[in-house]
Chains A and B, each alone.
Chain A
Amino acid sequence: MNKNKRLETRNRLSPLTVFLLAVLALYVVVLIAIFAWVFLTASKSYDLDYKTFDGSGDSNIFGLPKQFVLFENIMYVYDGFADFSLLDMFMNTMLYAVGCSMSKAIVTCIVAYLCARYENWFSKIIYTVVIVTMIVPVVGSQAAEFQLVQQLNFRDNMIGMWLMRANFLGMYFLVFYAVFKAMPKGYYEAARIDGANDFQVMVKVALPLAKLTFLSIFLILFIEYWNDYLIPNYYLPNYKTLSLALYQQSRKQGLDMTSGVDISQVTYLMTTALCVTVPIVLIFAFFSKRLMGNMSVGGLKG
């Protein structure tokens, strides 16, 4: 059986697939090497592993740490390496990522449910609006949006940010819409016969059936907002998120400049990088099947 499988695999290998195998293997090696290198650097001590300013001392850029100090580095970063403590930045990032993804997912889910369940003229308008805004590329309205946000006092305001994100536009509307449309009407009717009102039908019948889709969309949005640094940079200047703080700190330490400048804080920067990345990697590790398995053309399916 195994021999047959091996033979079949050998038959499927052509120069093209062998070439692809080589490229893909290289791709993975690069990724693992970068990860390993970040981890090792975050575990090093600058005093022991890196050159001092005058160039004396050992330079251990590639080797294993002479002393494994990852925990000490995390504690140092935790206490306020980037002007804000790690805990503050973590809380800001969580507020931003959870709040924005939750508000967006909830509003999209409810509007999609209403459009799928109540087939009236207004639902048709909403559906058309979603399609049109997806197809027509309107670019460059950020400046006007920025002014509006300031006029509404939503700048540097986390709740304002959540409200700004609470829209139903985009492909996730279509995903939820497809899920609710696919639900047999008999479910709703049975609930109504049992005396349930519209709210109860939605909360007790429809939404529980869409919870896995909701989870997938929430996770994808969470990752997107967790990684976002462009919006917080302008809209939340005093709520430092992890990504933004990491960027600002790396610039401050001169990592953006030419090689050979002061890199004395590199171990702490890599520790912060690790702290930013680990939650996302863990989410991916736990939910990879859900995140990847549901991907289909045009977005997700239930």
Chain B
Amino acid sequence: MVETVNTVNEPKKKRSLERGSNIFYALLMIFPVAQFILFYLVVNFKSFGYAFMEGTILNESRIEWSFTLKNISEWFTNAYLRTRLLDTAKMSLVFYGIMLLVSIPLGLLFAYYIFKKLPLSGFFRIFLFVPSIIPAAAFVMAYKYILNDAFPVITEQLGAKMPVFKGANWSFDAHPFGYILFYNLYISFGTSVLMYANKMFDISPEIVEAGKLDGAVGIKEFWHIILPLTFPTLSVFLVTGIATLFTNHYNLFMFYVGPEFDTLGYYLYKEVGTTAPPYGSEVDTPPIAALGLILTAIAIPLTFGLKAVLDKFGPSED
């Protein structure tokens, strides 16, 4: 009798449990989904909409919006905006290119040093990571102050002893671009070196040993064995790195240098500031949203294009 009741109640109990699970699931999902809709979907739709709108302030609380393509076309037809866009794009490309050509190879070599467990490799692993977590506000300020106030004293003292240094100006103000670049390179190794090294540690020792027997040691070992096997990680960095071409600020805010050093990311950031009250308002948003749309339209095919190229032509793990 009891068994019969249990059998009858079993599907009912299961359904009740399922319903309970669904309610629990839905309740916990409400906030994250609402947050995503508001701060991702609404923001991006609004941004897209702003790109094609022009606002006219009617009174303190009312703005009249109308459709326009001017926000997009202005970036190409207005001489000032076009020059500004080209200059910032050029600076972004220069920063990105140099970081790509110097930071990635050097990061891979540092990771190789750690992988080979050469002298002090554990110590270097920690020290390579530290600059990436130090607050930029403090680090940039100290760095800039040393370059502007301590370096002139060094060159003055060296100049008194060695004519080569006489009159040399090594201050930050004399070479801002070089020093900004050096700083960003200096702090760029933390996460990437760790990830490259971790990927290298996953390489089977048998493969490295077999390579050694075939004469792959030193640079040959790095080039023919380690690099191809680390390539998947490198590929992730390269593909996701495309976005940084459009978003990276390179700590320019902290360096407080002139607009000639603006990158696309920093320029966009500064422009957002112009929409902030009391000096700016919502009607100043459309041109910036239009620039964002233009950059996104370039970034998306570039990212997927690079991914396709790397998948097709990159070294194979086999």
Binding site for B on A (CB under 8 A): 9, 12-17, 20-21, 23-25, 27-28, 30-31, 34, 37-38, 59, 61-62, 107, 110-111, 114, 118, 120, 122, 126, 129, 133, 135-148, 150, 163-164, 166-169, 192, 197-199, 223, 226-227, 229-230, 233-234, 242-244, 246-247, 250-251, 255-256, 258-260, 263, 266, 269-270, 272-274, 276-277, 280-281, 284, 288, 292, 295-298
Q: With A230-B253, A259-B171 as known contacts, state yes or no: A143 contacts B289, CB within 8 Å.
A: yes
Is B131 in contact with A295, judged by CB distance below 8 angstroms? Answer: no
Instruction: Choose one: A20, A59, A169; the contact of B153 (CB below 8 Å).
Output: A59
Residues of A contacting B31 in the complex (Cβ-Cβ under 8 angstroms) = 107, 166
Known contacts A27-B127, A61-B150, A107-B31; is A227 also within 8 Å of B24 by CB? Answer: no
Instruction: Compute how far the CA of A9 lies from the CA of B2 in the bound complex, rounded to whole angstroms.
Output: 76
The answer to whether A129 and B289 touch across the interface, beta carbons within 8 angstroms, is no
Q: How many angstroms from the CA of A35 to the CA of B145 in the assembled complex? A: 13
Interface stretch of the complex, out of B80-88, B216-224, B309-317? B216-224
Asked if A12 and B291 sit within 8 Å, CB to CB, the answer is no
Whether B141 lies near A255 (C-beta < 8 A) is yes
- What residues on A are CB-neighbors of B243 within 8 Å? 137, 139
- 14 CB contacts below 8 A, A to B, read A9-B119, A16-B109, A17-B113, A21-B118, A62-B150, A167-B32, A192-B17, A198-B20, A229-B136, A243-B135, A247-B253, A250-B141, A251-B256, A272-B138
**B contact residues around A251 at 8 Å (CB):** 256
Q: B interface vs A, CB < 8 Å?
A: 17, 20-21, 24-25, 28-29, 31-33, 35-36, 38-40, 42-44, 46-47, 50, 106, 109-110, 112-113, 116, 118-120, 123-131, 133-139, 141-146, 148-150, 152-153, 171-173, 186, 191, 194-195, 198-199, 217-219, 222, 232-233, 236, 242-243, 246-247, 249, 253-256, 265, 268-269, 271-273, 275-277, 282, 285, 288-289, 291-293, 295-296, 299-300, 303
- The answer to whether A17 and B116 touch (CB under 8 A), given A143-B289, A227-B133, A273-B141, is yes
- Residue ID in chain A nearest B194 by CB atoms: A295
Shortest distance from the beta carbon of B231 to any chain A beta carbon, whole Å: 11
Q: Of A12, A141, A144, A297, which is within 8 A of B118 by CB?
A: A12
Among residues of B, the one whose C-beta sits closest to the C-beta of A14 is B218
* Contact A141:B269 (CB < 8 A) given known A129-B36, A292-B194, A297-B236: no
B40 touches A133 (CB 8 A): yes
Check if A280 sits within 8 Å of B134, measured CB to CB.
yes
On whether the beta carbons of B124 and A114 are closer than 8 Å, the reply is no
Q: Report Cα–Cα, A107/B30, bound state, in Å.
A: 11
B44 and A138 form a contact (CB under 8 A)? yes
Collect the chain A residues with CB atoms within 8 Å of residue B285's CB. 143-144, 146-147
**Separation of A105 and B200 alpha carbons in the complex (Å):** 29
Q: Are A143 and B303 in contact (CB under 8 A)?
A: no
In the bound complex, do residue B21 and residue A230 qualify as a contact, i.e. CB atoms below 8 Å apart? no
Measured between alpha carbons, how far is A143 from B71 in the docked complex, in Å? 14
- Whether the pair B113, A21 counts as a contact (CB closer than 8 A) is yes
Contact, CB under 8 Å: A37 / B35? no
A141 close to B292 (CB less than 8 A) = yes
Most buried by A among B136, B145, B191, B249: B145
Centre residue among A30, A59, A250, A298 by max chain B CB count within 10 A: A250
B127:A31 contact, CB within 8 angstroms: yes
* A288 contact set on B, CB distance < 8 A: 126, 129
On chain A, the residues within 8 Å of B149 by CB distance are 61, 259-260, 263, 266
Q: Which residues of B contact A135 (CB under 8 A)?
A: 303
Report Cα–Cα, A262/B255, bound state, in Å. Answer: 18
Given A16-B218, A143-B50, A143-B271, CB of A226 within 8 Å of CB of B135:
yes
Q: How many Å from the CB of B222 to the closest CB on chain A?
A: 7
Chain A residue at minimum C-beta to C-beta distance from B249: A230
With contacts A62-B150, A167-B35 known, is A140 near B133, CB below 8 A? no
State how many angstroms separate the Cβ of A172 from the closest Cβ of chain B.
13
Residue of B20, B152, B253, B276 with most chain A CB atoms under a 10 A cut-off: B276
Decide if A136 touches B300 in the complex (CB within 8 Å).
yes
A102 to B277, CA, bound (A): 30
The smallest C-beta distance from A114 to any residue of chain B, in angstroms, reads 6
- Please measure, in the bound complex, the distance between the C-alpha atom of A146 and the C-alpha atom of B43, giving whole angstroms: 9
Within the complex, what minimum Cβ distance (angstroms) separates A202 from chain B?
Answer: 8
